[in-house]
Amino acid sequence: MNQDVHSEPQRTLSSVLMAASLRADQWRHLNASARAWADARPDAAAKHRARCQEQLDEVLRIEHCWAYPGERLLGALREALDQGDAASFARYAQKISAAILSGDYRRDEQVWSLDDELDRTTLDALPPDIGGLADKPYFEVLVVTPSDPAQWARSKDEMRRMRRPEDQFHYAAVHAGSFEDAALAMMVNTDLQAVVLIDGFGFASRHDVPDLKAFIARHIHVDPDELRPGTLALTLAATIKGYRPELDLYLLSDRAPEALAGSDEAAPLRRVFHHVEEPMEIHLSILDGIKDRYETPYFDNLKKYALRPIGTFHALPIARGKSIFGSNWIRDMGHFYGTNILFAESSATTGGLDSLLEPTGNIKKAQEAVARAFGAKRAYLGTNGTSTSNKIVVQAVCKPGDIVIVDRNCHKSHHYGFVLSGAQPYYVEAFPLTQYSMYGAVPLRTIKQALIDCAAAGNLSRVKVIDMTNCTFDGHMYNPRRVMEECLAIKPDLIFLWDEAWFGFARFNPLHRRRTAMGAAAALTQRYRSRAYREEYDAWKAKLGDRDPADASLIDERGLPDPDKVRIRVYQTNSTHKSMSAFRQGSMMLVWDEDFHQVEGPFEEAFFAHTSTSPNLQLIASLDLARRQMELEGYALTLKMTDLALKIRRAVNTHPLISKYFTVATPEDMIPAEYRESGLTDYGPPNASWAESAEAWDLDEFALDPTRLTLICGAAGFDGTQFKGLLAERFDIQINKTSRNSVLVQTNINNTHSDAALLIKALADLSREIESRLSQEGSIGHQVFADRVKSLMTDVPDLPNFSRFHDAFREDPNSASNEGHMRPAFFMAYDEDNCEYVKLASDEVDKRLRDGPDMVSANFVIPYPPGFPIMVPGQVITADTIAFMRKLDVKEIHGYHAAQGIKLIKPSTLGSRRATSM
Ligand SMILES: *Cc1c(COP(=O)(O)O)cnc(C)c1O
């Protein structure tokens, strides 16, 4: 394999994503060069030394962002170089690079010292009995200070001396002398968990690195000329919070801390100290901050519970393993699952286990921690998957008769939610990607048109919810800020449900966060409260006057909501198990609703209606743990998964052999140009610099999540299902979704470079096989292959749009808006007398399409893939739906049995129904 994912080190820090891998590469190279110098013949030594010098200079450009190796070891390294001492240089380079690559600096005191024996200075700095470091989680603290860099080593030693054996964590400090240096460290150092800001530092970096300054400016938008004097520390605090909200921030100031602490500007700070404060107090505060995130209230208690001797007389025989380890026949169950899971089982809600249905103790605390971590006002844990979370939210916010403008491609849980709640769906269509047999996302114009149509029909007051999937299975990310803003301009109290089943991780990465529901809720709340917005709105209003929501020209207008009327009402659901470390079915519901008092009661009802009275304790615990992980290492993990995805994209699409048969769809392939205003075609050079990609994410209507890779396999002659099977059987690679000519590969927080290499290797092997097979075949073989590729790639079926509800289910058959009563149609099908069947292949179908009467679906018909309903109850079946079904080559079609045919509501039944009854 000549082009694996490790290929060619990136020489420049073009993107924050690359910082970690760039650093590891740099140290690896430096180590190799140092060894070469040490082993070199005398006449070649100068050349090797020069190479080392060059590489060390490169390393030192950003090395000040990390605590390890720190000034002392770096100083020794530099001194060895200056003195031409190749042996010492090689020894230090080896030591440092090994510690960085292995992560040993986190647990081994030895690697911090100059000599292999702990040196005197280090020993002096350590209390005698600090021991047990290997077991304590390690992190780094950024100290931003005006003090002389010559003092920093001493300050670090002082901080180390603060360590106590009873501390739960240990940390090392890294110093920065300016706003710019601090911002850079905050972005690239994923070990950081806390920042101590000491008032009085300046803006500009003391390092002369113009490209790094440009890099910082690109990621954070602070204009040094705009800064008011004396506000630098608070501006930095706000900047850090915007970028990495999970970090704890402390301010040391000699201004009156009491006055400062109460101000709005101090909101991002965890604590404000007076300059001369006791250092121990700061040390303890730092540890306390980590503890808040580390604590998993439910899991911690469950562990305690499992250890207690308890006699159980409740209804759960496996609790504490008694029915298992005493059994003659199922003891292997205990051996397989281990004892802990059985000791941690209980049906009690006593013993501090709390109740998911009425949380007052540690589940309540766990939910509060989730809300904090995910940037929501409230959070609810779900143990029945997002399938149920969606039904809960839909039922909580909708009552019979409410209209929901909804992407027809939403997961089926939404559609069932409408049946349950009696809400009327107004189906809107995503843009089609016919060439891959999939849909994209719903254009903003389509959503606005639906609102305008409802207004024209006099129904705007009934439109309650906009319900969309963000991001879609295939990676289409909405611009939720823009969608909500323009919709709220038409109706200021709309509720938004963003199904972020795949996208829960996105909160923890500043790149993805800008496209999340909660990120948008926070941004819009802040925007509408600002004076600047009011001025913007007033000017807009003065120009346009009062707008009629039914005015068709609204569609082309970038509307602004009235700041006095607008309400931020946003709900997000996520399948925590899909992108974070939770057990299957672990799900979360996040709420940012300024009018939640109206919803709280119904929400509770819906939660009761759908939640088991025996929720699984391990699921709840795993949600608690998933939150802990993301709050402490989500930044590192999500950067890494994104970086890995970009590398796979590049490796596949630039590989001379693989790219003949396989490609990963680019943003240009997946998003029509009209929704990519930036013109971005693909990530990374030569197509777009990182800055341009980030800007596209800010502005474009849709952006493609790079971690979701649509791998086109049709050009290799495989259909999606076939290729999925092949990857699983031959290469042990599991993927999840397929289309006619593609499979979806996703990178996740668990993926490594080796996983990526495995995939690339599989694609290379398969490409070679195809090549060799074709080379041995004659023209007939080539023709067969070409026909197969054509059938997969070109002869693709058109995707059927939602047609309409039958008039029997419409309040006003003449209105432009298309909502309908799905619930009565759904329940009509319960009575077989109301229904009839037609065979898909029969002439009867064609005759009825031609001559009527209308065929009206009695139920949901959902083929997998693509997994969205091509028919819903009460929908009139049209020719394109039939054509699509006839071409469909998948086996699993929920709601359709080939032997019986399509289930329809009889025309006579429809005739006798009065549309307005529910
Ligand atoms: C998977 C998924 C769901 C359902 O979530 P589960 O946790 O599997 O129940 C809902 N919506 C979307 C968009 C999904 O991808």
| DSSP H or E stretch at residue 498 | strand 495-499
Q: In what order do the strands lie in the sheet with 424-428?
A: 378-382, 587-593, 569-574, 495-499, 463-469, 403-407, 424-428
CA distance 73 to 70: 6
pLDDT of 9 reads 38
Q: For 110-126, how does the pLDDT look when each residue is reduced to its tens digit (9 = 90+)?
A: 898 887 655 555 555 55
Class of domain 372-627 as given by CATH: alpha beta
Ligand 1, from 384, 386, 394, 894: best to mutate by most atoms within 8 Å of Cβ? 386
Q: Which atom of ligand 1 is nearest to the CA of 387?
A: 9
Q: For 815-837, how does the pLDDT look when each residue is reduced to its tens digit (9 = 90+)?
A: 888 899 999 999 999 999 999 99
Residues in the chain: 918
- Phi/psi region, residue 852 (left: phi>0; alpha: psi -120 to 50; beta: rest), is left
Centre of ligand 1 from the C-alpha of residue 501, in Å: 5
Count the alpha carbons within 13 Å of 21 in the hemisphere toward its beta carbon. Answer: 23
Centre of ligand 1 from the C-alpha of residue 397, in Å: 19
Centre of ligand 1 from the C-alpha of residue 393, in Å: 14
Q: Three-state SS for 793?
A: helix
Q: Which atom of ligand 1 is nearest to the CA of 578?
A: 7
pLDDT of 115 reads 76
Query: Does any ligand 1 atom lie closer than 6 A to the CB of residue 579?
Result: no
Query: Does any ligand 1 atom lie closer than 6 A to the CB of residue 501?
Result: yes
Q: Which atom of ligand 1 is nearest to the CA of 575?
A: 7
Query: Does any ligand 1 atom lie closer than 6 A to the CB of residue 650?
Result: no
pLDDT of 916 reads 46
Centre of ligand 1 from the C-alpha of residue 780, in Å: 45
Query: Is residue 644 within 8 Å of residue 5, measured between CB atoms?
Result: yes
Centre of ligand 1 from the C-alpha of residue 504, in Å: 12
CA distance 538 to 915: 44
Query: Does any ligand 1 atom lie closer than 6 A to the CB of residue 499?
Result: yes
The CATH number of the structural domain formed by 628-793 is 3.90.1150.10
Q: Which atom of ligand 1 is nearest to the CA of 411?
A: 11
Break the chain into its structural domains and give their ranges.
1-127, 372-627, 628-793, 807-917
CA distance 736 to 421: 31
Query: Does any ligand 1 atom lie closer than 6 A to the CB of residue 572?
Result: no
| DSSP code, position 241 | H
pLDDT of 311 reads 66
Residue 366, CA distances (Å) to 356, 518, 608 in order: 11, 18, 19
Ligand 1, from 390, 391, 393, 411: best to mutate by most atoms within 8 Å of Cβ? 411
Query: Does any ligand 1 atom lie closer than 6 A to the CB of residue 756?
Result: no
**Regions of the chain short of the pLDDT cut 50:** 1-11, 127-129, 915-918
Query: Does any ligand 1 atom lie closer than 6 A to the CB of residue 485?
Result: no
Centre of ligand 1 from the C-alpha of residue 737, in Å: 13
pLDDT of 349 reads 64
Ligand 1, from 381, 387, 571: best to mutate by most atoms within 8 Å of Cβ? 387
Ligand 1, from 572, 578, 589, 622: best to mutate by most atoms within 8 Å of Cβ? 578
Query: Is residue 708 within 8 Å of residue 744, measured between CB atoms?
Result: yes
With 0-12 / 13-18 / 19 or more C-beta atoms within 10 angstroms meaning exposed / middle / buried, residue 867 is middle
Query: Does any ligand 1 atom lie closer than 6 A to the CB of residue 386?
Result: yes
CA distance 780 to 525: 65
Structure tokens, 111: 């690697």
The set of residues, in sequence order, having a beta carbon less than 8 Å from that of 213 and lying 6+ positions away, is: 180, 205
In SS3 terms, 29-52 reads as: HHHHHHHHHHHCCHHHHHHHHHHH
Ligand 1, from 389, 413, 736: best to mutate by most atoms within 8 Å of Cβ? 413
Query: Does any ligand 1 atom lie closer than 6 A to the CB of residue 575?
Result: yes
CA distance 367 to 356: 10
Q: Which atom of ligand 1 is nearest to the CA of 388?
A: 9
* Whole-structure pTM value: 0.93
Centre of ligand 1 from the C-alpha of residue 868, in Å: 12
Query: Does any ligand 1 atom lie closer than 6 A to the CB of residue 469?
Result: yes
Q: Which atom of ligand 1 is nearest to the CA of 413?
A: 10
Ligand 1, from 381, 406, 499, 708: best to mutate by most atoms within 8 Å of Cβ? 499
To the nearest 10°, the Cα dihedral for 913, 914, 915, 918?
A: -90
Structure tokens, 468: 């969309």
> Is 807-917 in CATH node 3.40.50.300?
no
DSSP string for 340-403:
HHHHT--S-STTTT--SSS--SHHHHHHHHHHHHHT-SEEEEESSHHHHHHHHHHHHH--TT-E
Centre of ligand 1 from the C-alpha of residue 215, in Å: 37
pLDDT of 5 reads 38
Query: Does any ligand 1 atom lie closer than 6 A to the CB of residue 587?
Result: yes
